[in-house]
């Protein structure tokens, strides 16, 4: 079933009776070439690119809950490629290019909207750092513009420019950045993978990894055991739990990150604004709600909910940046479990167990990476070599002293 | 979250700074690089009961070992890290 404008029109005239479920609901087979643990954005994207690009179609995606029930179903939907370091920026720019063609390649409306992201700066030093970052972005073709205060005023005249502590002096703008519909991304990848023969198996929790003589043989699940030549783990906040089944300790702590949505408002913010100094960022969804968030709560958590002090901290950041947010009412908040790696950068690598592969450590930045993460992980699973944009994301980089110092923090701002 | 400080009673967790797994008390001293890398970077990160270090930065500046459930945020107890460390040294002696 292909989606098209004509199809929507025809269905509208015939009572919408022709729509079918977007993917099958198969029982697990006894054996697969590749089993992917985790039916979130990254796992589903991996399955899609395995089938589409690398021609590996005997693939299963195992999801313990329902499809997209983790962080792909609860995030602030921002896509961008405004990183600095050579180990990171080409990867995120690759992701940005995949976003730009995503809807054509999966034939699904993921509502990718390149509405631009503006990172605000408040001092000369921060401006210089952003100039450097912008230049790094230009090297990969990501595009960047450094705005002075007048430039920012032209875009968002209602910001609080004269905040005593953090007066807004300007910002770094990436016009190609924006937002995408997070659920649509999961559903679109799931449907596209399913159409190419991938089995998406929900309510199927992996309870054990079968390992013999240092080699993976398959997985034990709540729906029976499944043999696999290769197993890829893409389970975000549950990484430590799953990898513990292979006896491996991870350079990861699971933390809770909260995000918030206001009641629906008339169009007020047409891009994404980040106020890093105040731990606050905001955009407006197509439904009208202001979508915003801040920092992690700062303690290990698998609870999928946070506590009130961070709610207060985020709202304070919002009030400092845009006082008019005080007139909006908060509609809901939620918390996701983040796989905080120790240097704040991800891991896409083989593991000490033959045939067991890891995709983890996305911290609070996994959504924008979804397409490239899936592509690079599929490349690794298919060829046993890292994708050219993901060579720095090694699991052993911590022990070898090759940490990626993008922001200088991982799980702990006072560490590393 | 309220932390039952052994000396000060129930205190708001906001007064504390979090460091993480209480195993960090046992810092390797042998000069073995692999051991140190493991100490610095690898974590058990359990879902469930977790013993962890909290620093009472806005209070009496003591280090506590807090036992907390990471699935529910329920706090099951708190001890002075000093006592935990001394007791452990006593066990080893």
The residue written with tokens 């992980």 in the block is: A377
Tokens of A204: 């199927």
Q: Which pLDDT value is given to residue A161? A: 97
Q: What residues in chain A have per-residue pLDDT under 50? A: 416
Q: Identify all chain B residues contacting A399, using CB atoms and an 8 Å cutoff.
A: 34, 37-38, 41
Q: Which pLDDT value is given to residue A416? A: 42
ipTM value of the model? 0.95
Q: What structural domains does chain A harbor? A: 22-81+84-107+182-251+343-400 (3.50.50.60), 117-179+255-339 (3.30.9.10)
At residue B92, does pLDDT exceed 70? no
Q: Which pLDDT value is given to residue B88? A: 85
Residue A369 and residue B84: Cα distance in Å, rounded? Answer: 42
Q: How many domains does the structure of chain B reveal?
A: 1
Q: Does A253 sit within 8 Å of B20, measured CB to CB?
A: yes
Q: Which pLDDT value is given to residue A405? A: 85
Residue of chain A with shortest Cα separation from B13: A309
Residue A409 and residue A394: Cα distance in Å, rounded? Answer: 17
Q: Which pLDDT value is given to residue A414? A: 55
Q: Does B19 touch chain A (CB under 8 A)?
A: yes
- Is residue A335 helix, strand or coil? strand
Residue of chain B with shortest Cα separation from A244: B44
**Closest Cα to residue A377, out of A390, A365, A367?**
A390
Q: Are strands A199-201 and A59-62 parallel, antiparallel or unpaired?
A: parallel
Backbone φ and ψ of B44, nearest 5°: -75, -40
Query: Within a 10 A sphere around the Cβ of A153, how many other Cβ atoms?
Result: 15
Query: Which residue segment(s) compose the domain that B11 sits in?
Result: 2-92
d(CA B2, nearest CA chain A) in Å: 11
At residue B50, does pLDDT exceed 90? yes
Residue A340 contacts residue A409 (beta carbons within 8 Å): no
Q: Which pLDDT value is given to residue B90? A: 80
Q: Does B70 sit within 8 Å of A302, measured CB to CB?
A: yes
Q: Which pLDDT value is given to residue B14? A: 95
Residue A186 contacts residue A348 (beta carbons within 8 Å): no
Q: Which stretch of DSSP H or E encloses residue A36?
A: strand A31-37
pTM of the predicted structure, to 2 decimals: 0.95
**Chain A residues in contact with chain B using a Cβ-Cβ cutoff of 8 Å:** 238, 240-241, 244, 249-254, 298-303, 307, 309, 342, 398-399, 411-412, 414, 416
Residue B10 and residue A411: Cα distance in Å, rounded? Answer: 26
CATH number for B35? 3.30.2270.10
Q: Which pLDDT value is given to residue A408? A: 63
CB pairs under 8 A between A and B: 69
């Amino acid at each position: 079933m292909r989606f098209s404008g004509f199809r929507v029109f025809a269905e509208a005239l015939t009572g919408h009776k022709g729509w079918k479920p977007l993917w099958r609901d198969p029982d697990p087979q006894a054996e697969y070439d590749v089993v992917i643990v985790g039916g979130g954005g990254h796992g589903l994207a991996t399955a899609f690119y395995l089938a589409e690009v690398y021609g590996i179609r005997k693939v299963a995606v195992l999801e313990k809950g329902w499809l997209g029930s983790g962080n792909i179903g609860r995030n602030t939907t921002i896509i961008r490629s405004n990183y600095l370091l050579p180990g990171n920026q080409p990867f995120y720019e690759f992701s940005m290019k995949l976003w730009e063609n995503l809807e054509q390649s999966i034939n699904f409306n993921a509502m990718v909207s390149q509405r631009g992201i503006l990172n605000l700066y408040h001092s000369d030093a921060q401006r210089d750092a952003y100039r450097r970052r912008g230049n790094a972005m230009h090297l990969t073709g990501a595009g960047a513009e450094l705005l002075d205060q007048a430039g920012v005023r032209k875009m968002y005249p209602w910001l609080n420019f004269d905040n005593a502590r953090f007066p807004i002096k300007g910002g770094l703008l990436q016009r190609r950045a924006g937002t995408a519909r997070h659920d649509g991304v999961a559903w679109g990848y799931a449907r596209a993978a399913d159409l190419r023969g991938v089995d998406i198996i929900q309510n199927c929790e992996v309870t054990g990894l079968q390992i013999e003589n240092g080699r993976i043989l398959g997985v034990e699940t709540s729906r029976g055991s499944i043999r696999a030549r290769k197993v890829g783990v893409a389970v975000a906040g549950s990484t430590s739990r799953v990898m513990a089944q292979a006896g491996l300790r991870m350079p990861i702590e699971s933390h809770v990150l909260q995000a918030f949505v206001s009641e629906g408002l008339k169009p007020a913010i047409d891009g994404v604004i980040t106020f890093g100094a105040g731990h606050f960022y905001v955009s407006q969804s197509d439904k009208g709600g202001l979508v915003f968030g801040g920092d992690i709560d700062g303690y290990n958590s698998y609870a999928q909910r946070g506590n009130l002090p961070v709610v207060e901290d985020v709202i304070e950041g919002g009030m400092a940046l845009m006082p008019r947010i005080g007139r909006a009412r908060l509609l809901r908040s939620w918390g996701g479990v983040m796989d905080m790696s120790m240097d704040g950068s991800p891991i896409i690598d083989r593991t000490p167990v033959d045939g067991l592969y890891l995709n983890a450590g996305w911290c609070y930045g996994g959504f924008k990476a979804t397409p490239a993460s899936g592509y690079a992980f599929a490349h690794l699973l298919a060829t046993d070599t890292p994708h050219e944009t993901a060579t720095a994301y090694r699991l052993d980089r911590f022990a070898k002293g090759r940490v990626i110092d993008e922001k200088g923090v991982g799980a702990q701002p006072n560490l590393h | 979250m309220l932390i039952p400080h052994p000396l000060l009673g129930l205190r708001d967790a906001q007064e504390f700074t979090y460091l993480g797994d209480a195993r960090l008390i046992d810092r390797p001293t042998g000069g073995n690089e692999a051991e140190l890398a493991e100490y610095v970077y690898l974590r058990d990160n359990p879902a469930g009961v977790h013993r962890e270090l909290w620093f009472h930065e806005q209070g009496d500046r003591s280090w506590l070992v807090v036992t907390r459930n990471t699935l529910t945020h329920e706090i099951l107890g708190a001890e002075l890290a000093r006592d935990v460390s001394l007791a452990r040294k006593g066990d080893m002696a």
